[in-house]
Amino acid sequence: MRRHFKSRRWKVLGVIMVAIAIAAVVVQVVPGGANKVQIGSGSVSALSRHARSGDALPASVLSLPFGERNFASSNGAGSRLVRTDGSLSLYAVPGKGRLVCLIEVDDVAETAGGACADRNVLLTGSIYMADVREDGSKDVVGLVGDGHTFAEADGRRVPTRDNVFVIRGVESNDVTLGSPTATQTVDIEG
């Protein structure tokens, strides 16, 4: 039994290290390009809806130093599960001050990542994460402000729901965010 505990402990430590590495490598804040176009309001209405079962962040995310540094409360109070897509769960979380955070948890890969930014970023851009696949394409998830209605890459347009979008298999480095009245193309590579 002791051997199983050691093996599990190393697995948990490995997951935490992978989560930290993912957060450090693929997390980006996209404030829009040089000619910023305001699309959204900067508000995140998904955070103001009534709490539902499943909105609480997993304990594994709350135990990371990332949460203590960025979340408005140490227990992630106010977090909302805003989308599930296969094994992926996306959460919007109120941050300290004017911060808002996007947290990505993949149950199959046993990884987690996150990014936070000032809500003003959501006026013209997105808080996103781009996970690179073995074939070099990217799975891109993003948190946008109220008013954004779609995200588009490689000619595929997806609607935003609950302030998030998910685009899988992106080959290019550009994502266009938009509404019926404005669009903004952002470089997710750089």
Which positions ≥6 away from 38 have C-beta within 8 Å? 123, 124, 182
Distance in angstroms (rounded) separating the CA atoms of residues 53 and 79: 11
pLDDT in tens, 61-93: 999 999 999 999 989 999 999 999 999 999 999
Number of structural domains, the chain?
Answer: 1
pLDDT in tens, 29-51: 444 445 678 888 889 999 999 99
Q: Which domain holds residue 139?
A: 2-187
The confidence score (pLDDT) of residue 27 equals 44
Question: pLDDT grade, residue 190 (50/70/90)?
Answer: low
Strand, coil or helix: what is 91? strand
Tokens, residue 159: 């609607």
Q: Strand 126-132 and strand 138-143: pairing?
A: antiparallel
Over the range 147-158, which residues count as b (16 or more CB within 10 Å of their CB) and which as e?
A: bbbbbbbeeeee
Predicted structure pTM score: 0.80
